[in-house]
Amino acid sequence: MAFVRVPGNDVPEGAEEHWIEGRGGIKVRVLTAPSARGPARGSVIVAPGRTEFIEKYFEVIRELQQRGFAVLCIDWRGQGLSGREIENSVKGHFVSFDDPVNDLATALKLFADKLPRPRIGLAHSMGGAILLRAMQTRRVELDGAAFSAPMWGIASLNKFAKRYASFMTSVGAGGMFAPSVDTRWKREPFKNNPVTNDEARHARCQDLISQEPRLALAGPTLGWVAAAGGVIEAIAQPSASAHLRVPILVATASEELLVDNASHDRVVAGLPDAVHITIPGAKHEILMEKDEARAQFWAAFDALAARVAPAHA
């Protein structure tokens, strides 16, 4: 199908929609788009967060194209317009984070001809857990990476919750909603939202879901919580990132309410070539924030990109 459209969210120039097949026959949707400034200086792999989808990143993709990059963006299995592993399509569910890691690796192999090197990852929140794990396990080889509020820890996920989710999943209840989460999608009011201070960008996301209800996602399942706990533990293992000697940027939001900011310090300590910045006044979705917060992120990204993929003269 064509991309979901709402006013003020233009489809990136030359964007193409593709479908790949992952484990279990799950169909996964992928976007590729060329540089908008002649021959590409490289490629950026956009890895969205939980509940997110390709159309939410159109503005970001266009900005990357204007910087001279070809782009790939993915709808993770279980969200966006990609296939689901359980019947209730609004349940956020993974059996294992290995599945989206492998889906991403498959997409990069299949569309390698559209993604010239050097390649830079640009990952937000849950996408940051998936992308870093892909790099740690060498299933995805990148030349640099930028992480926006990465989900290397979850503020509300304590040891009891992890044990409970793992036990319930082990006895076959992984498809149940986790306790105390939303069990249906409803339009989120801007006031007191936990993700952005930018009202227009917040409304744009809500408009896209209202336009295409299949984009809607509610709370996570117990299986997702168990899988998230597992991948967070794996990411944090001593020396897990010691071989990642490419330039890495980690951006932390000062007004974070969802991920555990302390986890960023712990992971960065094990990265050989990392720059860690905190963006004042930013909530969780740094790339969907007000222009002044976004400008700080893009300045740091551009510094990373200048090292990895110098612009053409």
User: Between the CA of residue 94 and those of 101, 160, 218, 225, what are the distances in Å?
Assistant: 11, 20, 14, 9
Of 170, 174, 127, nearest in space to 152 by CA: 127
Measured at the CA of 248, the angle between CA 81 and CA 277, to 5 degrees, comes to 95
Per-residue pLDDT of the chain (313 residues), as tens digits, is: 589 999 999 999 999 999 999 999 999 999 999 999 999 999 999 999 999 999 999 999 999 999 999 999 999 999 999 999 999 999 999 999 999 999 999 999 999 999 999 999 999 999 999 999 999 999 999 999 999 999 999 999 999 999 999 999 999 999 999 999 999 999 999 999 999 999 999 999 999 999 999 999 999 999 999 999 999 999 999 899 999 999 999 999 999 999 999 999 999 999 999 999 999 999 999 999 999 999 999 999 999 999 999 987 6
Q: Which two tokens stand for residue 212?
A: 């295409």
Residue spans of beta strands (DSSP E) within the chain: 16-21, 27-33, 42-47, 69-74, 119-124, 144-148, 248-253, 274-279
Report the DSSP pairing between strands 69-74 and 27-33: antiparallel
